[in-house]
Chains A and B, each alone.
Chain A
Amino acid sequence: MLKTFRTSDRTLMVLFTIFVLAAPLIMAPLGAGYPDLMQRFAIYGIFAIGFNILFGLTGYLSFGHAAFLGVGSYSAVWMLKLLSINIVPAIIFAVVVSGLFALLIGFISLRRSGIYFSILTLAFAQMSYNLAYSVLTPITNGETGLQLDLTDPRILDTVNETSQVASPSFLGLEMGDTAVVQFLGMDLQFNVGFYISALILIGMFYLSLRIFRSPFGMILRAVKSNQTRLNYTGFNSRPYTLTAFVISGMYAGLAGALLVCMDPLAGADRMQWTASGEVVLMTIMGGAGTLIGPVLGAGIIKYFENIFSRINESVVEGWFSALPDGVTDFLTAVVSPFLGSGWHISLGLIFMLVVIFLPGGLVEGASRIMNLVRRLSQTRKTTSSPSVARPLGDDESPEEPPPGSVNTRES
């Protein structure tokens, strides 16, 4: 993975595609090779990529993106209920609705900047959460959450006579279908739902790459760098930030729809502000403003959430059982509060450490290590490399660290 930071975009794209498609093979040895988790890697990857288009490029820190995820989920369930169990109309509708919702909220929130923007988006998200939880119960089914039902009209589908609630499908393939292959003693699970999410993830990553490498993306970075200057340069910055906001809202809506396709249930807690915080966390941890960072962050957080939260006290005790009794008890007592149900403590701590020591996220950390290695391998008399930005447009030229990996927080 680390090698991709210095190769051209095309190589990055190819490597990313291979990595995502081979995920069942790669994840199985890590104990993460089961469909449910891999689907979540892909879906939250999409969410974080979208968030990064807003936060990473323009620097506008939204604390309300979970609202779009939730709106996407609700819209998708409604389409599955009313129109068809096929996921395509559900996804399209969800993206459109969340885009419109983002247009409305962005139009209002982007009139302010800085912390005011963060608080406005936070207020909107909390408002949406409360609306979904209680006020709009006819649409959202309140506390219980919105689910598929035997009585759903599904006007496009031929009437099904079965007594079971249908599960979402694409061209007759159900999301839950999984082919299990034995390989080197491991069960490799190739799941329809995962591959659909994975293909969409690859597509969305490509779009984000195109945005990063477009004049539009460059102007968004200029917003982050010096908005006043941009306005005096002849650009009206607001439609640019609004476009970025809507695009990222649509990414979130897409992710919400995919969550529903995998598990057709939409609940209000998906819109809570802790959920908004989670995507911020993923993006920062991986590296805001970098291409690969958000996906990396989403993967790591979802991985640890699943692995760490399964570890209970007896497992921890098992790790240290070879040690003397007192030491075992002591280590178990020290370690176990951070695992299992307490894994959020570790999450919060890791997050703090990243913000404190590595504001550029893991991608910056990796490129720092790369620089260190390079410097050590060079002769001592070479001068320290000046800060160099990515050469523009040279598709094939050896690439210097991408924009976000240069420390952008110096000023």
Chain B
Amino acid sequence: MDAILLQVLNGLDKGSAYALIALGLTLIFGTLGVVNFAHGALFMIGAFCTVTFNNLLSFERVTLSATELSPWGTPLEIHVPYVELWFGDFGATMIDYSVFWSLLFAIPVMLLIGIVMERGLIKHFYKRPHADQILVTFGLAIVLQEVIKSVYGANPIPQPAPAAFVGSIDVGVWIGMAENSVIYPIWRLVYFLFAGVIIGGIFAFLRYTTFGMVVRAGMADRETVGLLGIDIDKRFTAMFGLAAVVTGMAGVMYTPILSPNYHMGMDFLVLCFVVVVVGGMGSLTGAVAAGFLLGILQSFASMPEVKDFLFGFSIDQVIIYLVAVIILLIRPRGLMGRKGVMET
């Protein structure tokens, strides 16, 4: 029982990331009808927003100490980040909580990137075949990934979680289990809650605002909405920007779990495409549900018991694809998709 709970929890953080990225993909696909292979790059750029922001925060003033000496006999260098110098204790907490501040930093950056991407490139591909959309966004993904690589290098850059969220908590105790039965890292719990808030926010936005209503109508029947005299163009741009922001934020918050590296976008993208297809192309709830489902499934597949059962083969890297193949064959429209979306 506790092992099962632990695996479910373990699946949640990956599942949250899958769900958030898949949500962004589905928003873009559902409203704009574009298959965006550069979407993983947005997740990666989000993660590197954290890196950039931390680099900015860590600009230091270096002074030489008048009294103390370093072990080499030279005057000791004192490094003080400028933010701490300017804002005192507030600056220090700012550095500690840099991940959350990075969110604020990432929102305008991702919005800008999203809008530029849509206006500059994607817009011209609405009427082109899906194969062309795949290819051009694939090219863009390569470019973005390689730019990040040339700026930040090929090695992962670890990012700390705020001190208050470092470490683990005993989740088992909360629900009346024995102590130390279910230990779970705090940040992963934070990530899950964050994902829940964002997903809830998006759904509320789509349900209760006029904008969201038009978007949902557009997802159901694009042509008719176009005929109603609604300025679809602006909404498309906004939608793309929103999807970019959501995906970017997912990337920012994921940095304490996975040290940002240039190929994380591609790694997640392939999985998230699978997630979208399993959930059902164009279905937002499907994307979210499939994201969590596959994340949890993956974590179960990595259990030692499963490995023993399969004669020592570990299938956690393969299980998602296997499930996707099976689902596509027996239920082509996915778990919650409508029939005939993107057929032919």
- A pairs with B: yes
A residues touching B (Cβ–Cβ < 8 Å)? 59, 61, 63, 108, 111-116, 118-120, 122-124, 126-127, 130-131, 133-135, 227-228, 273-274, 277, 280-281, 284, 337, 341-342, 344-345, 347-349, 351-352, 355-356, 359, 409
Question: Bound complex: CA of A341 vs CA of B150, how far in Å?
Answer: 8
Which 8 A/B pairs are nearest by Cβ-Cβ distance?
A: A348-B142, A348-B143, A352-B139, A130-B317, A351-B139, A127-B321, A344-B146, A123-B321
Q: Who on chain A is nearest to B263 by CB?
A: A274
Q: Answer yes or no: B266 CB below 8 A from chain A CBs.
A: yes
Judge whether A115 and B130 touch: CB under 8 Å.
yes
Partner of A348, one of B139, B277, B281, B329: B139
Partner of B342, one of A114, A342, A344, A359: A114
In chain B, residues 220-279, which have Cβ atoms closer than 8 Å to a Cβ of chain A? 266, 270, 273-274, 277
Q: Who on chain B is nearest to A277 by CB?
A: B138
Q: Nearest Cβ in chain A — how far from B327, in angstroms?
A: 11
Question: Bound complex: CA of A402 vs CA of B328, how far in Å?
Answer: 37
Q: What chain B residues lie within 8 Å of A123 (beta carbons)?
A: 270, 274, 321, 324-325
What 1/0 mask marks residues of chain B from 126 to 153 whose CB sits below 8 Å from any chain A CB?
A: 0011111011101111110011011000
Question: Bound complex: CA of A228 vs CA of B344, how far in Å?
Answer: 9
Q: Nearest Cβ in chain A — how far from B344, in angstroms?
A: 6
| Sample (10) of A-B pairs whose CB atoms are under 8 Å apart | A108-B329, A114-B342, A115-B281, A273-B270, A344-B149, A345-B150, A348-B140, A348-B141, A352-B143, A409-B128
Judge whether B147 and A284 touch: CB under 8 Å.
no
Q: What chain A residues lie within 8 Å of B342 (beta carbons)?
A: 114-116
Q: Answer yes or no: B343 CB below 8 A from chain A CBs.
A: yes
Q: Who on chain B is nearest to A284 by CB?
A: B135
Q: What chain B residues lie within 8 Å of A274 (beta carbons)?
A: 266
Q: What chain B residues lie within 8 Å of A134 (beta carbons)?
A: 314, 317
Judge whether B328 and A356 touch: CB under 8 Å.
no
Evaluate whether A122 and B270 lie within 8 angstroms (CB atoms) in the complex, with A127-B318, A348-B139, A359-B132 already known: yes
Q: Nearest Cβ in chain A — how far from B302, in angstroms?
A: 11
Q: What chain A residues lie within 8 Å of B273 (beta carbons)?
A: 119, 122
Question: Bound complex: CA of A269 vs CA of B47, how far in Å?
Answer: 25
Q: Answer yes or no: B30 CB below 8 A from chain A CBs.
A: no
Q: What chain B residues lie within 8 Å of A351 (beta carbons)?
A: 135, 138-139, 142
Q: What chain B residues lie within 8 Å of A227 (beta carbons)?
A: 344
Judge whether A348 and B325 touch: CB under 8 Å.
no
Judge whether B139 and A355 touch: CB under 8 Å.
yes
Q: Nearest Cβ in chain A — how far from B38, in angstroms?
A: 10
Q: What chain B residues lie within 8 Å of A61 (beta carbons)?
A: 131, 134
Q: What chain A residues lie within 8 Å of B149 (beta carbons)?
A: 342, 344
Q: What chain A residues lie within 8 Å of B129 (beta carbons)?
A: 409
Q: Nearest Cβ in chain B — how far from A235, in angstroms?
A: 17
Judge whether B325 and A120 touch: CB under 8 Å.
yes
Question: Bound complex: CA of A126 vs CA of B344, how far in Å?
Answer: 24
Q: Nearest Cβ in chain B — how far from A8, in angstroms?
A: 31
Question: Bound complex: CA of A130 vs CA of B277, how far in Å?
Answer: 20
Q: Nearest Cβ in chain B — how far from A307, in angstroms?
A: 17
Question: Bound complex: CA of A80 vs CA of B197, how far in Å?
Answer: 57
Q: Nearest Cβ in chain A — how far from B265, in angstroms?
A: 12
Given contacts A123-B325, A342-B146, A344-B142, 4 further A-B contacts (CB under 8 A): A120-B328, A124-B325, A130-B318, A348-B142
Q: What chain A residues lie within 8 Å of B324 (beta carbons)?
A: 119-120, 123
Judge whether A349 and B139 touch: CB under 8 Å.
yes
Q: What chain A residues lie within 8 Å of B131 (beta carbons)?
A: 59, 61, 118
Q: Answer yes or no: B313 CB below 8 A from chain A CBs.
A: yes
Q: Nearest Cβ in chain B — how far from A330, in angstroms?
A: 18
Q: Who on chain B is nearest to A359 by CB?
A: B132
Q: Answer yes or no: B183 CB below 8 A from chain A CBs.
A: no
Question: Bound complex: CA of A112 vs CA of B339, how far in Å?
Answer: 13
Judge whether B135 and A355 touch: CB under 8 Å.
yes
In chain B, residues 283-324, which have Cβ atoms closer than 8 Å to a Cβ of chain A? 313-315, 317-318, 321-322, 324
Question: Bound complex: CA of A133 vs CA of B313, how far in Å?
Answer: 12
Q: What chain A residues lie within 8 Å of B318 (beta carbons)?
A: 127, 130-131, 135
Question: Bound complex: CA of A344 vs CA of B141, how far in Å?
Answer: 11
Question: Bound complex: CA of A125 vs CA of B330, how far in Å?
Answer: 20
Question: Bound complex: CA of A59 vs CA of B273, how far in Å?
Answer: 21
Q: Answer yes or no: B332 CB below 8 A from chain A CBs.
A: yes
Question: Bound complex: CA of A113 vs CA of B146, how far in Å?
Answer: 31
Question: Bound complex: CA of A351 vs CA of B329, how far in Å?
Answer: 33
Most buried by A among B121, B130, B131, B318: B131
Q: What chain A residues lie within 8 Å of B317 (beta carbons)?
A: 130-131, 133-135
Question: Bound complex: CA of A120 vs CA of B270, how far in Å?
Answer: 11
Judge whether A116 and B150 touch: CB under 8 Å.
no
Q: Who on chain B is nearest to A129 by CB?
A: B317
Q: What chain A residues lie within 8 Å of B136 (beta carbons)?
A: 352, 355-356
Question: Bound complex: CA of A196 vs CA of B79, how far in Å?
Answer: 63
Q: What chain B residues lie within 8 Å of A356 (beta carbons)?
A: 121, 124, 136
